[in-house]
Chains A and B, each alone.
Chain A
Amino acid sequence: GDSVTQMEGPVTLSEEAFLTINCTYTATGYPSLFWYVQYPGEGLQLLLKATKADDKGSNKGFEATYRKETTSFHLEKGSVQVSDSAVYFCALFSGGYNKLIFGAGTRLAVHP
Chain B
Amino acid sequence: EPEVTQTPSHQVTQMGQEVILRCVPISNHLYFYWYRQILGQKVEFLVSFYNNEISEKSEIFDDQFSVERPDGSNFTLKIRSTKLEDSAMYFCASSEVGARNYGYTFGSGTRLTVV
Binding site for B on A (CB under 8 A): 31-32, 34, 36, 42-46, 49, 51, 89, 91, 93, 95, 97-105
Contact = CB atoms under 8 A, between A and B. Distances in A.
Nearest to B102: A49
22 contacts: A32-B100, A42-B108, A43-B91, A43-B108, A44-B43, A46-B104, A46-B105, A49-B101, A49-B103, A51-B100, A51-B101, A95-B100, A98-B48, A98-B56, A99-B45, A99-B48, A100-B104, A101-B45, A102-B42, A102-B44, A104-B42, A105-B43
Q: Would you list the 8 A-B pairs with minimal beta carbon distance, nearest first?
A: A43-B108, A44-B106, A102-B43, A32-B100, A93-B100, A104-B42, A43-B106, A43-B109
Contacts of B99: 93, 100
B25 interface: no
Chain A contact residues: over half helix, strand or loop, or mixed? strand
Contacts, number: 57
